[in-house]
Structure 1
Amino acid sequence: MTNRPWMTVPLLSWAAFLAASGAAAAQNDPSDPELAATARVAEARLRQSFTNLQFEDFGPAPVKGPLFQASAGGHILYYAPESDHLLFATIYDRNGVNLTALAQDSGARKKVKNLDPDQALIIGPPGAPTVIEFTDPDCPYCRALDRFWAAKAAEGKPVRRQIYFVSGIHPEAASKAEHILCSKDQARAFRQAYAGEALRPLAQCKEGAARVTHNAIAVKAMGISGTPTLVLDGKIISGFQQAEIEEWLNAKERPKPPS
């Protein structure tokens, strides 16, 4: 975990119960009778609550004491101060609900309110479902996503893209973003950039440079660390996750049930 800090590992919702099961459990000594008794109860509860999983092994974890939830860089993480452990993990409840994702999405919705649409590049027809998109002109997956949106528009499923440029990953991203924002036809310049066309000479202007800087501030405030990143009705989608995006689009098409 320490050398791959953003690797997701499963952490069940009763981890705090196990971690806070008393001084004997905190010692994590398998030969301790009290800990062994606690472990038997916990294992039985585990197998009863999560009947769809097959467990080959069960034993005490190195984490001690209560767990606390924190956020950093748009990610949810957990801290156990007693044993000084930091957990990059995903917590599920007994019904399979991803509580970590819910917390992350809740934080994203709060931050989205601080985004200024006037500083974004808007592409797509008014009235179409709005997508908040963090992108980079030199990101291959961002270019694939752009082709995906174009294909969906051709199918009659357009979206309205509220685009913020991420300029801290590729060396020419900021200058290409400024070129797009300084162009008379920004949508056309965007398409050219994301089609991989050579943009020479790169256009420059004071307003475009200011918007690129503002976008960088917004990216940092949102905790965006990779591209593309989408926010779909408050839900963060990291990377070009086509199946999740398709599911969201299909839900937008379904008629709402009568109230």
Structure 2
Amino acid sequence: MSRRAIRRLAACLPAIAAIGLAVPANAQSTPTPTQSTPSTVIVAQAEAAQRQLRQTFTNLTFEDFTPSPVEGPIYQANAGGRIVYYAPKSEHLLFAAVYDRNGVNLTALAQEAAATIRLKRIDPSQALAIGPATAPTVIEFTDPDCPYCRALDRFWATKAAEGKPVRRLVFFVTGIHPEAAAKAEHILCSPDPAAAFERVYAGAAPKVLATCAAGKAKLAAHTTLVAGVGIGGTPTIIVDGHIVSGFRQDELDAFLAKAAAGAR
């Protein structure tokens, strides 16, 4: 397991202890006046749980081991694309990453499975298509005023100049910056939307922004899609059916390299 995974795992140990190690709920109760110390059974169970934790995750060092405040069974829920965990007995909501003993991030797998279902809602015909139709296709959720989206646009332009173009199916996210909707509609209403997209993302600020009924309708469709798919940040890129959150150049380079190898 990587150091980063270890740090994330250590941060969510209370959830792991509650989910995987089955510390009994009554181990967390406050002793009553007639019961000043836990029962022998509870102590034995806690000690067994601690031994199991240390034996299972041998690459981690634990300085202490105490009962979790979480009680009872824990359930998994999808909250707008984010996997969360809920313990109804103690009314705890856990924002955590759950790993198995082999270091597999079970939360990430659940999120990816949920994302796959949501991605089926995307209608490519509603997108603004940029780039040659024969190039590898990516789906891009973007915001005209997002600096990382503009950096991504420069990245794609550089790759196109290197002979590695992509077909971008663009959907606009307009709920983050106040002028994003007006600029997106301007792009969609322009005679050459791809050229207008390039100018706006290069920093152009037209004095008069174009408006039109068709552009408004398409932008409304984008807004509905963004809410349905659960896109919360920009840029969000979908490559090979996987969601890339943010401008992660290494992942995009890997995608382009894979696409180039497949074309040979």
Which TM-score band (shorter chain)? 0.7 to 0.9
Counterpart-to-counterpart distance in 1, 2:77 and 2:50: 28
Is 1:228 matched up with 2:235?
Answer: yes
Q: In the alignment, which residue of structure 1 is the partner of 2:48?
A: 41
Contact 1:108/1:234 (<8 A) preserved: no
Counterpart-to-counterpart distance in 1, 2:16 and 2:126: 40
The partner residue of 1:139 within 142, 146, 158 is 146
SS in structure 1 of the partner of residue 238 of structure 2: strand
CA deviation vs aligned residue, 1:109-152 (integer Å, no higher than 9, x gap): 11111111111111122233221111100011111111111122
> Percent of pairs identical after alignment?
58
The partner residue of 2:248 within 241, 245, 251 is 241
Counterpart-to-counterpart distance in 2, 1:127 and 1:94: 44
Contact 1:28/1:62 (<8 A) preserved: no
Q: In the alignment, which residue of structure 2 is the partner of 1:99?
A: 106
Is 1:211 matched up with 2:214?
Answer: no
Alignment CA distance shift 1:31-1:166 (3 Å): farther
TM-score by length of structure 2 reads 0.85
Contact 1:135/1:166 (<8 A) preserved: yes
Contact 1:28/1:60 (<8 A) preserved: no
Alignment CA distance shift 1:224-1:67 (3 Å): same
Q: In the alignment, which residue of structure 1 is the partner of 2:19?
A: 16
SS in structure 1 of the partner of residue 156 of structure 2: helix
SS in structure 2 of the partner of residue 152 of structure 1: helix
Displacement after TM superposition at 1:235 (Å): 2.2
Larger radius of gyration: 2
1:92-241 equivalences under 5 Å are 92-241=99-248
In terms of fraction of residues, the more helix-rich structure is 2
Q: Which piece of structure 1 moves more, 210-219 or 235-244?
A: 235-244
Amino acid of the structure 1 residue aligned with 2:27: A
Counterpart-to-counterpart distance in 1, 2:207 and 2:194: 17
Counterpart-to-counterpart distance in 2, 1:240 and 1:79: 31
Unaligned runs of 5+ in 1: 1-7
Q: Which piece of structure 1 moves more, 191-200 or 23-32?
A: 23-32
Counterpart-to-counterpart distance in 2, 1:130 and 1:31: 64
Counterpart-to-counterpart distance in 1, 2:66 and 2:261: 47
Is 1:79 matched up with 2:86?
Answer: yes
Q: Cα RMSD over matched residues? A: 2.3
Displacement after TM superposition at 1:241 (Å): 2.2
Counting matched residue pairs gives 248
TM-score by length of structure 1 reads 0.87
SS in structure 2 of the partner of residue 191 of structure 1: helix
Counterpart-to-counterpart distance in 2, 1:184 and 1:210: 16
CA deviation vs aligned residue, 1:196-249 (integer Å, no higher than 9, x gap): 111232111111110111100000001111111122223222222223333333
